[in-house]
Structure 1
Amino acid sequence: MKLSVIGCGYLGAVHAAAMASIGHEVIGFDVDHAKIERLAAGEAPFYEPGFNDLLRESLASGNLRFTTDPAALTGSTVHFIAVGTPQREDSDGADLRFVDAAVTGLLPHLAPGDLVVGKSTVPVGTAQRLADMVTPTGAMLAWNPEFLREGFAVQDTLQPDRIVYGTAIRDGAEVEILDAVYATALKGGVPRLVTDYATAELVKVAANAFLATKISFINAMSEIADATGADVTELADAIGHDVRIGRRFLNAGVGFGGGCLPKDIRAFAARGEELGHGRALRFLREVDEINLRQRTRLVELVEEALGGSVAGRRIAILGLAFKPNSDDTRDSPALDVATRLHGLGADVVSYDPEAVGTARRARPHLVFAESLEEAVAKAEVTVVVTEWDEFRELSPDAIASAVAEKKVIDGRNCLDPERWRAAGWTYRGLGRR
Structure 2
Amino acid sequence: MKLSVIGCGYLGAVHASAMVELGHDVVGIDVDADKIAQLAQGRPPFFEPGLSEILTSATATGRLRFSTDIADAAGAQVHFIGVGTPQKAGSHAADLTYVDAAITGLLPYLAEGDLVVGKSTVPVGTASRLADLITESGSGASLVWNPEFLREGFAVQDTISPDRLVYGVAPGEAGERSVALLNEVYASAIAAETPLVVTDYATAELVKVAANAFLATKISFINAMAEIAEVTGADVTQLADAIGFDARIGRRFLNAGVGFGGGCLPKDIRAFTARAEELGRGESVAFLKEVDQINLRRRSHVVDLATTALGDRLHDGKVAVLGLSFKPHSDDVRDSPALDVAVQLHGLGADVLANDPKSIENAQAKHPQLRYSDVIADTLQDADLVVLVTEWPEFVEIDPVWAATLVKTRIIIDGRNALDAAAWRAAGWSYTGMGRS
Name the structure 1 match of 2:259.
255
Q: Which amino acid aligns with 2:151?
A: R
Range that drifts further, 362-371 or 381-390:
362-371
Name the structure 2 match of 1:404.
408
Separation of aligned partners in 2, 1:360 and 1:92? 26
How far apart are residue 3 of structure 1 and its match?
0.3
8 Å Cα contact 1:22/1:184 also seen in 2: yes
Name the structure 2 match of 1:153.
155
Counterpart of 2:42 in 1: which secondary structure? coil
Q: Which amino acid aligns with 1:167?
A: V
Separation of aligned partners in 2, 1:332 and 1:263? 12
Name the structure 2 match of 1:216.
220
User: What is the TM-score with the length of structure 1 in the denominator?
Assistant: 0.99
Counterpart of 1:374 in 2: which secondary structure? helix
Separation of aligned partners in 2, 1:361 and 1:221? 35
Separation of aligned partners in 1, 2:377 and 2:105? 50
Name the structure 2 match of 1:420.
424
Which of 296, 307, 310 is the equivalent residue of 1:306? Answer: 310
Name the structure 1 match of 2:205.
201
Name the structure 1 match of 2:79.
79
Separation of aligned partners in 2, 1:169 and 1:394? 57
Name the structure 2 match of 1:143.
145
Q: Does 1:12 align with 2:12?
A: yes
Separation of aligned partners in 1, 2:392 and 2:433? 16
Counterpart of 1:306 in 2: which secondary structure? helix
Separation of aligned partners in 2, 1:76 and 1:197? 23
Separation of aligned partners in 1, 2:53 and 2:236? 40
Separation of aligned partners in 2, 1:55 and 1:280? 42
Pairwise mapping of residues 26-45 of structure 1 onto structure 2 (< 5 A)?
Answer: 26-45=26-45
Separation of aligned partners in 1, 2:399 and 2:165? 42
Runs of 5+ unmatched residues, structure 2: none
How far apart are residue 308 of structure 1 and its match?
5.3
Name the structure 2 match of 1:64.
64
Q: Which amino acid aligns with 2:357?
A: P
Range that drifts further, 131-140 or 81-90:
131-140
Pairwise mapping of residues 26-425 of structure 1 onto structure 2 (< 5 A)?
Answer: 26-136=26-136, 137-169=139-171, 172-307=176-311, 310-425=314-429
Counterpart of 2:262 in 1: which secondary structure? coil
8 Å Cα contact 1:253/1:412 also seen in 2: yes
Counterpart of 1:331 in 2: which secondary structure? coil
Separation of aligned partners in 2, 1:414 and 1:169? 49
Counterpart of 2:12 in 1: which secondary structure? helix
How far apart are residue 63 of structure 1 and its match?
1.2
8 Å Cα contact 1:143/1:201 also seen in 2: yes
Q: Which amino acid aligns with 1:96?
A: L
How far apart are residue 169 of structure 1 and its match?
2.2
8 Å Cα contact 1:135/1:141 also seen in 2: no
Separation of aligned partners in 1, 2:360 and 2:378? 13
Counterpart of 1:80 in 2: which secondary structure? strand
Separation of aligned partners in 2, 1:50 and 1:70? 27
Counterpart of 2:293 in 1: which secondary structure? helix
Separation of aligned partners in 1, 2:131 and 2:36? 28
CA spacing shift, 1:309–1:283, aligned 2, 3 Å: farther
Q: Which amino acid aligns with 1:71?
A: A
Separation of aligned partners in 2, 1:392 and 1:218? 21
What is the total number of aligned residue pairs between the two structures? 433
Q: Which amino acid aligns with 1:185?
A: A
Q: Which amino acid aligns with 2:353?
A: V
Range that drifts further, 165-174 or 117-126:
165-174
Counterpart of 2:314 in 1: which secondary structure? coil
Q: Which amino acid aligns with 1:184?
A: S
Q: Which amino acid aligns with 1:87?
A: Q
How far apart are residue 90 of structure 1 and its match?
2.2
Cα deviation 1:26-60 (Å, max 9, x = unaligned):
00000000000000000010000010001001111
Separation of aligned partners in 2, 1:2 and 1:276? 42
How far apart are residue 69 of structure 1 and its match?
1.3
Deviating beyond 3 angstroms after TM superposition, the runs of 4 or more aligned structure 1 residues are none
Separation of aligned partners in 1, 2:96 and 2:378? 43
CA-atom RMSD, angstroms?
Answer: 0.8
